[in-house]
Amino acid sequence: MSWKDYLTLHQAAHLEDFRTFLSIPSISAQPAHQDDVRRAALWLAARFKQAGFLQAEVLPTAGHPVVLAEYCPYPDKPTVLFYGHYDVQPADNPERWNSPPFEPTVVDGRIVARGASDMKGQVMAFLLAAESLIANGALELNVKALIEGEEEISSPSLPAFIEQNKERLRCDMIINGDSGQLSESTPLLGLGVRGICALEFDLVGPSHDLHSGTWGGGLQNPLHAMAELVASLHNPDGSVAVQGFYDDVEPLSPELRAWYKKIPWDEEAELKKLGLQEFYGEEGYSHWERTTGRPTLEVNGMWGGYTGPGGMTVIPSTAHAKITCRLVPHQNPEKIVMLVKAHLEKHLPRGVRLQVRTKEAGAFAFRMSADHPGCVAAREVLTELYGVPPVETMFGGSVPILGTLKQMLGHDPVSFGFGLEDELIHSPNEFFRLSSFEKGKQGYAMLLGRLAQ
Amino acid sequence: MSWKDYLTLHQAAHLEDFRTFLSIPSISAQPAHQDDVRRAALWLAARFKQAGFLQAEVLPTAGHPVVLAEYCPYPDKPTVLFYGHYDVQPADNPERWNSPPFEPTVVDGRIVARGASDMKGQVMAFLLAAESLIANGALELNVKALIEGEEEISSPSLPAFIEQNKERLRCDMIINGDSGQLSESTPLLGLGVRGICALEFDLVGPSHDLHSGTWGGGLQNPLHAMAELVASLHNPDGSVAVQGFYDDVEPLSPELRAWYKKIPWDEEAELKKLGLQEFYGEEGYSHWERTTGRPTLEVNGMWGGYTGPGGMTVIPSTAHAKITCRLVPHQNPEKIVMLVKAHLEKHLPRGVRLQVRTKEAGAFAFRMSADHPGCVAAREVLTELYGVPPVETMFGGSVPILGTLKQMLGHDPVSFGFGLEDELIHSPNEFFRLSSFEKGKQGYAMLLGRLAQ
């Protein structure tokens, strides 16, 4: 019996296992679900054992535990490490769900449940792929699965865990399952994500709000100062005006720019979808270059004064803003925060004081070569599985774990997952396509087979 | 018993009445308080009746009602009309109040409550002054009191009300109680106020909030556009950059500038009080000129995106701002709104749409002669009450009703009130000095006596 036949034969039982996994509300963000998170880890470790993994343990961290499963019978063969997470987003507002978030329901070829697409479906698909190979004596390389329980809360405990278990996590290649495809018919090969850093600041004027009639014209209005300062952060050509911001940025190579041109982009359709007249960004760059290849500085929130209905004639005491920057390779998130801070200080308008807060940890960008052996293997498998070659792209968002894994374990993680963009992750009625579940099992089995060659 | 003895005898009871008045949250700007506004009007009319006014009614307008009280027993004597308002500013951010805004609390000779200084204290003082005279048969002229409920939202319904009740409001002199003194020891004679006009606008980008990782750099962020647009409203020299803004502004005459120099101003003390390093405004003008003699444009509120705790990586769909301009004589509020709107349209950054709302009626500035008989009487009374002659000045705020009253009833309103500048009007912890309350009762009684001569 081939691994394919094995998967076909056990299809119904495997779907039941998936439902069982989904029915455990492993919400990492909510202390009330701490025991559920642990229960999901215990269930998953047991299921890895049942799949034939030689070891599968629930290991403690400073926060929620990690599941580490190992099938490493070959001292002389390479080792692949699969990264995933078993925790899920909260499922508040149950009234907005068509079926209870932790009672998985199959409707029209979709399984609806919190965590179905992000990413229990892909963890199960990988596990079952490995099981089908082990069951047929066809898993001809070493496999480790590192499944964490804190991804949805930014993986605070994972770096220390990896550091402490470096030897045990040693591998020759990393697969990141927390990823997706472009559509049901078109595969996707992701070659990078941007990094991120964040800061907040206040501009402080008079010690209390003042009447804008009595005082207007006589002192700096913190909202005027805020506008002037925020406006100073960008140049007329759309680039970031912070001195030194681009110092560590490598120009996009002619090869990369040629590669970018191949990413599909229907500008008219996208404008219509967003109700916009035009896209706008750094001059001289295309949309994909702007949103994935170039760094940005975006104000995510800005506020001060009276914001309620009607009018209130006030000069507010303070004004506030929150900023995030998206970074490209070689930009250091801590350095960028310092540069932005220096810009704010240097361009501070008269008559206000500046208070900067930098609470959140940043992340480096991550890019890998399209020629990386893992990418080559993924491309071949995806082409066979979908009948067309994958669209190759980078992402504008940030997946901090990629940089962490690369830095700590020394390999570029290959993103290989089966989520689709419309599957309502982080929203009510999250679902995963059963067709993606099937493709996932086959895809992981094919990838493990290909990598063993 | 003299009116003075009457006031002394009833001092405690009168303070209780004041507290009762202050405890009604008559916030005209917030629809949720509509019934409270009406309740304050009913209470006030009843209290005027109790004071001996021959008529006191709550009269409807298109908005909040007007209280009209009349003591007019003398067909052959002149009539004084007192103007005031019983509505108050919102009291949001209750956590910034040391005591609940509508539970009047007396601390160190001050009564703390929303509306205490602006201006329920002065309405009560006038009412009690009239009561003390009536009780002693000493009110020897006709008195009308017009107390509106929409001053804090720019009196939208009052002009129509006056137009419809012109005959009933006929008078020979007008006293505006919505005014103040310079300090506890120095009286003030106000000879003018600035006008006002207001507008709100939205900048509209994508049809829904977007992830700033996925989209950042690829489209105009409405917050960036807002900063750029608001920054464009002022020139580096502190003047307003709106084309045509100063077209109708008369230069300050040498006489007026000389007069301005006589207004006391302790810059160091004022900076200390406000926790500021420096004052800032239009180059070439003094503080009093900037805040009372020159027009301004101030942003009173500006907001968009995520403003809660922590981070949220969003490019918001919209950004918002509220603007008011303070005007000097000859500037037409409607014209200024049109000029600001034209500026916003002309300087609109790429990639966003502009929506302007102009809900509130504006007001012309008002200035009157220091030789007006009402000013002469006020000067005499204040000199007697404080032991020193009043400082004569103009105000930066707006009392739209002054222009309206003058235009519709044919008399220059004499400003005669007892608020002090530090009483946190429009801010948390607004208060009124009990000493001002006493001076107010006496001052109004003396003024009515003086005007009857």
Check B219 against A319: CB less than 8 A apart: no
Q: State the span(s) of chain B assigned CATH 3.30.70.360.
A: 195-249+295-357
**What is the Cα–Cα distance from A375 to A377, expressed in whole angstroms?**
5
Q: Do B313 and A196 touch (CB under 8 A)?
A: yes
pLDDT at B360: 67
Rounded distance, CA A351 to CA A26, Å? 51
CB contact under 8 A, A213 and B194: yes
pLDDT tens for residues B99-134? 999 999 999 999 999 999 999 999 999 999 999 999
**Whole-complex ipTM:** 0.85
Tell me the pLDDT tens digit for each residue of A235-278. Answer: 999 999 999 999 999 999 999 999 899 888 999 999 999 999 99
Lowest-confidence pick of A200-209, A289-298, A399-408, B16-25: A399-408
Inter-chain CB proximity A396 and B218 less than 8 Å: yes
Among the partner-chain residues A217, A309, A395, the one whose CB lies closest to the CB of B296 is: A217
Residue B375 CA to residue B368 CA, distance in Å, equals 9
Query: Cβ contact (<8 Å) for B213 and A320?
Result: no
The string of DSSP codes covering B196-243 is EEEEEEEEE-SSS-EETTTSTTSS--HHHHHHHHHHTTB-TTSSB-ST
**Residue B279 to residue A219, Cβ atoms within 8 A:** yes
| Residue A316 Cα, gap to closest chain B Cα (Å) | 7
Flag the least confident range among A74-78, A139-143, A366-370. Answer: A366-370
Angle between helices A11-22 and A121-135 (to 10 degrees): 140
Q: What is the pLDDT of residue B1?
A: 80
CB count, 10 Å around CB of A44?
Answer: 26
Instruction: Please report the residues numbered 357 through 376 in chain A whose beta carbons come closer than 8 angstroms to any beta carbon of chain B.
Output: 359-360
Contact between A36 and A43 under an 8 Å Cβ cutoff? The reply is no
CATH 3.90.25.10 fits A3-193+366-452, yes or no: no
Express each pLDDT in A94-151 by its tens digit: 888 999 999 999 999 999 999 999 999 999 999 999 999 999 999 999 999 999 999 9
* A213 to B395: CB separation less than 8 angstroms, yes or no: yes
Domain with CATH 3.30.70.360 in chain A: 195-250+267-357
Burial level of B210, CB count in 10 A (0-12/13-18/19+)?
buried
Residues 266-325 of A with CB under 8 A from B: 273-282, 287, 290-291, 294-296, 298-316, 319-320, 322, 324
Query: Cβ contacts (< 8 Å) between A211 and chain B: which residues?
Result: 397, 425-426
Please indicate whether, in this complex, the C-beta atoms of B353 and A395 are within 8 angstroms of each other.
no
Question: Considering only residues 382 to 441 of chain A, which have any Cβ-Cβ distance to chain B shorter than 8 Å?
Answer: 395-398
- Select the highest-mean-pLDDT range: A131-140, A353-362, A398-407: A131-140
CATH class of segment(s) A195-250+267-357: alpha beta
Query: CATH number of the domain at B195-249+295-357, please?
Result: 3.30.70.360
Query: How distant is the Cα of B148 from the closest Cα of chain A, in angstroms?
Result: 18
Please state which CATH number belongs to domain B3-193+365-452.
3.40.630.10
- Name the phi and psi angles at A310, rounded to 5: 70, -160
Secondary structure of residue A196 in the 3-state scheme: strand
All residues of chain B having their beta carbon less than 8 Å from the beta carbon of residue A287 are: 218
Residue ranges in chain B modelled with pLDDT below 50: none
User: What stretch(es) of chain B map to CATH 3.40.630.10?
Assistant: 3-193+365-452
Asked whether residue A312 carries a pLDDT value surpassing 70, the answer given is yes
Q: What is the pLDDT of residues A144-197, one digit of tens each?
A: 999 999 998 889 999 999 999 999 999 999 999 999 999 999 999 999 999 999
Asked if B298 and A218 come within 8 Å (Cβ–Cβ), the reply is no
Interchain pair B212, A322: CB under 8 A: no
Residue of A209, A278, A350 with shortest CB distance to B426: A209
A5 shares contact with chain B (CB less than 8 Å): no
Please compute, for residue B266, the number of CA atoms within 13 A of its CA located in the half-sphere on the CB side: 7
- If one counts every other C-beta atom within 10 angstroms of the C-beta of residue A355, the result is 11
pLDDT of A360 strictly over 80: no
